[in-house]
Chains A and B, each alone.
Chain A
Amino acid sequence: MGEIFDIAVIGAGVIGSAIARALSRYAGSFAVIERTHDVGMGASVRNSGVIHAGINCIPGTLRAEYCMEGRALLQDWCEELNVPYGICGKLVVARAEEEIPGLERLMRDGEANGVPDLRIISGEEAETIQPGVTCVAALHVPTSGIVSPYALTIAMAEDAAANGVRFFLGSAVSGIAPGADGFTIETTTGPIGARFLVNSAGIHAGRVAGFLDPEAPEIHPCVGEYLILDRQAGEAMSTSIYPAPAAANAGLGVHITPTTEGNILLGPSSEYVSDPETSCCTKVTTDRLLDEASVMWPGLPRHLVIGAYAGLRSKLTSPETGGFSDYVFRRTPEHPNAIHLLGIESPGLTAAPAIARHVVDDLLASDVGLRTKPAGEIRTRRWPDRFDELPEDEKKRLVAADPDHGDIVCRCEGVTRAEILHAIDNPLGVRTLSGIKFRTRASMGRCSGGYCLPRIVEILQEEFGWSPGDFQLRGPDSPAFVGRLLEEDHVCAHS
């Protein structure tokens, strides 16, 4: 049996990473066990990146409570971690008269949840808020916002790691054995012991819970596909645009959302899938996303699509039922020291810090023996500023201080060599190409890495002596290259 931790968190998505960060403010030994080779690689980075205002949660539910509490906490955490976010507001648009009751219902629920400043406005007024939007009426939600979901998840996890939380990446859980004083978690990289256990495994949470709790409910993965538009398109869009929901408790529908970096997202679709490993973008859905978004935004520049992705919702509601179920925090009498977080779908990103706080409160009330760390022992690791977004004077100063800031590696997103080197030097030890991408935005732009991939490869070969096998997209199973042409890398002299 391997090391024994006070608490093990299974799953390093936005929820697991938030819990890890909350735990890192306490003295104790904490482990995060994650099956992929970076944090947040599931739904946490493949969503709309929205800070929800709280209009789409049924009053009195945990979803509503954690959304409202989470949105305030989230903004505090973003400030502490330097994670990009913004309160850009949202328009929920009625495309026909018969959709207006849907807006009124959202407004009632929102007001019951304590969402301020909600107003139903005319189509004309909506267009003054967001030029180009087409509707008969809209619900204006000024407190809705956006956050970079990957920056948030990675920043929380890296802050946790920098403050003593151990991350076991590439460790898929294959079994959990209860013992006299806790659990032995079997993983693909060896067993890990823990006195307490938090299961935040997202779409895999049902399966993980099943190792201890045969009655645990099943999680139904439901794929949501998105399209990404060039930042050139983003100049036209400053507010999120959502369609009026089709029915009470229905999904959010295909919406148009600006990102904190100035792109625009279209999506998500909603389709239950039997095999979560095959999440995949399809032509039918892509066309539908564009068509549905065009109804609300007739000027949608279709030719500026630069990418697509698909995320998986962790739903407790079956394909037959659809809609939302409430979040489930499950502890059984047989294994009271295991907390299973089930069905954490939208607004999970918004709710994450609140969920983390409640989980930690539960653990504080248990006999883990958590003690608050003295403030002097906490060193918050801040997400780096993006060089490209700094004022010219600041750029000059940084280049003078660190010559590597003078070398632009990714021209689409303006990422410097210094930023690439900083990303490789992350406290989680992530060394994948995708890890560099999510930490810097290099290759997230319009050329998808055509320009910067060669330059990143060059840096890794020359600075770190990487061999072909060291280059992996997401981990050992996704090698970027299959070998060398010549046995020796030919070194050419640069004049």
Chain B
Amino acid sequence: MSARTREADVVVIGGGPAGLASAASAADAGAKVVLVDRNRELGGILNQCIHDGFGLHAFGEVLTGPEFAARYIDRAFDAGVEVHPNTTVAELEASRELVCTTLGERYPLRAASVVLAMGCRERTRGMLQIPGTRPAGVYTAGTAQWLTNMRNLRVGKKILILGSGDIGLIMARRLTWEGAEVVGVVELLPYPSGLPRNITQCLEDYGIPLHLSHSATCIHGRERVESVTVARFDGRRQPVPGTEFEIECDTLLLSVGLIPENELSRRVGVRLDATTSGAFVDDRHMTNVPGVFSCGNVLHIHDLADWAAEEGARAGTQAAAYALGGPAKGGAKPIRIEPGDGIRYVVPQTASRGSKELLVSFRVTAPDENRTAEVLADGRVLASEDLRRAHPAEMVQMKVGCADGLDADRLEVRLT
């Protein structure tokens, strides 16, 4: 324990795909990097994702979660990253001074720059205010996935899944394979919120019914879940009277959204975007707190771990540059990037004046076909891309090149 470094150029908080890639790229750039992770094993949520489908973009291969994680763990170790596992960051100051805590030791750690890569957590029953009793057998899908895949525990025999998020869809298939009866997936929206490939591979292939425009109105059962009342919901997200029906089950899994885990960020004064619940960042992934960077699911929820890792790598390079080169030249006011028609959010939220290249990540507000995404500078089209299929579940990335250096009062991303 005492061999642990107390001072580094870059400290990365979180050892999932974004944090690992970030640490590796910062170390590759010559920085002394410490990666702090609260789990015993690196990889974050990837360790419980024993299904495949990872790595298609990053490696052109189909990998399981642990295999995908292993690539980035090797990369981080090869680059010379010092890992502090099983360690929680208890305090973080804007001066980039941290207090870390692990079994038997609570110690300070100081860095020139900090990369926030804490990932996200799942929305809960309490936040949705699902009425009813409070029995055993209500789990968020990710927690159920961990209990199933990591702890060898059966969460239930007859499962209803609320929400069509990807984790819920993956769990529908996983629990079916393990002999549980998945009686259905209920989704409030008129379209699924998970990836289309998961609808096909996890539900349709197993004949699991998907109830769109439906949600749970009451949980029944005093000690253990006995059934759930489900009703059709209208466009204003209100239950339609008379459409209720009861689904018998002993378990309710919730796959109703992810929330970037920004408690630490908030404490250090990082300004958050109300739409993404992640930080406001510039095109270097730096937050409003100088020297504090953000990437991966703590910045905005990604659909693919590949994208989270790529974003982490970019943030890590910038964090190293900041640490090694000192605060970048200030001066020119950054350019605001705003979501326009058909776009829910854009990350980053600002771009540096004079940039030669910009990468924007965004999501559309509703499913659509044959649209064009445009990046505009003061109304002038800088880049456009045809989207044969646009879906809120899928993040879109666009590269904007501007050889003369970016200059505008305002940038906008929109769908036409």
Contacts and interface: CB of A to CB of B under 8 A. Distances in A.
Interface of A: 227-228, 232, 277-283, 286, 305-309, 392, 395-396, 399-400, 403-404, 406-408, 411-412, 414, 417, 446-451, 453-454, 457-458, 461, 468, 471-475, 477-486, 489-490, 494-495
A286 B135 contact: no
Contacts of A490: 152
27 contacts: A280-B133, A308-B129, A309-B134, A392-B99, A399-B105, A403-B104, A406-B106, A407-B88, A407-B101, A411-B88, A417-B103, A448-B125, A448-B126, A450-B140, A450-B142, A454-B147, A454-B151, A457-B147, A457-B153, A468-B154, A473-B223, A477-B223, A478-B223, A479-B224, A480-B137, A484-B154, A486-B152
A408 B131 contact: no
B222 interface: yes
Most B-side CB within 10 Å, residue of A407, A412, A417, A484: A407
Given A408-B38, A449-B143, A450-B143, A477 B224 contact: yes
A305 B101 contact: no
Contacts of B86: 407
Contacts of A482: 154-157, 250
A244 to B, nearest CB: 27
The majority secondary structure among interface residues of chain B is: mixed
B95 to A, nearest CB: 16
Given A454-B147, A477-B223, A485-B154, A447 B129 contact: no
Contacts of B250: 482
B38 A281 contact: no
B146 A489 contact: no
A399 B106 contact: yes
Given A408-B88, A457-B147, A481 B133 contact: no
Contact of A489 (B40, B90, B121, B152): B152
B154 A283 contact: no
Nearest to B153: A481
Pick the 7 closest A-B CB pairs, nearest first: A403-B104, A307-B126, A473-B136, A478-B223, A477-B223, A478-B136, A448-B124
A62 B289 CA distance: 59
Given A408-B88, A461-B151, A484-B153, A278 B222 contact: yes
A445 to B, nearest CB: 10
A420 to B, nearest CB: 13
A414 B91 CA distance: 12
B216 to A, nearest CB: 11
B384 interface: no
B150 interface: yes
B129 A286 contact: yes
B121 A406 contact: no
Given A403-B104, A406-B106, A458-B151, A228 B126 contact: yes
Given A306-B126, A454-B151, A490-B152, A407 B102 contact: yes
Interface of B: 38, 40-41, 86, 88, 90-91, 99, 101-106, 121-122, 124-127, 129, 131-137, 140, 142-143, 146-148, 150-157, 178, 217-218, 222-224, 250, 263, 266
A483 B122 CA distance: 24
A278 B104 contact: no
Given A481-B154, A483-B153, 15 more contacts: A280-B133, A281-B131, A281-B134, A286-B131, A305-B127, A395-B101, A399-B104, A406-B106, A408-B88, A412-B263, A447-B122, A454-B147, A454-B150, A477-B222, A478-B135
A477 B133 CA distance: 14
B153 A306 contact: no
A281 B132 contact: yes
Contacts of A392: 91, 99
A454 B146 contact: yes
Given A448-B126, A449-B143, A485 B131 contact: no
Contact of A396 (B106, B151, B222): B106
Contact of A484 (B99, B103, B134, B152): B152
Nearest to B42: A495
Nearest to B134: A309
A271 B178 CA distance: 43
A232 B266 CA distance: 10
Contact of A306 (B124, B135, B154, B224): B124
A294 B370 CA distance: 45
A406 B136 contact: no
Contacts of A486: 152
Nearest to A412: B263
Contacts of A489: 151-152
Nearest to A227: B129
A461 B143 CA distance: 16
B129 A481 contact: no
Nearest to B91: A392
Contact of A305 (B129, B136, B154, B155): B129
Contact of A453 (B137, B143, B154, B156): B143
A406 B99 CA distance: 11
B135 A473 contact: yes
A481 B147 contact: yes
A451 B121 contact: yes
Given A406-B103, A481-B155, A484-B152, A474 B223 contact: yes
A125 B124 CA distance: 39
Nearest to A290: B129
Contacts of A403: 103-105
A478 B143 contact: no
A407 B133 CA distance: 33
A277 B222 contact: yes
B256 to A, nearest CB: 12
Contacts of A495: 41
Nearest to B40: A494
Contact of A474 (B136, B151, B154): B136
A308 B125 CA distance: 9
Nearest to A407: B103
Contacts of B38: 408, 411
Contacts of B106: 395-396, 399, 406
A405 to B, nearest CB: 8
A283 B135 CA distance: 17
Given A406-B104, A408-B38, A477-B223, A483 B154 contact: yes
B129 A283 contact: yes
B152 A450 contact: no
Nearest to A228: B126
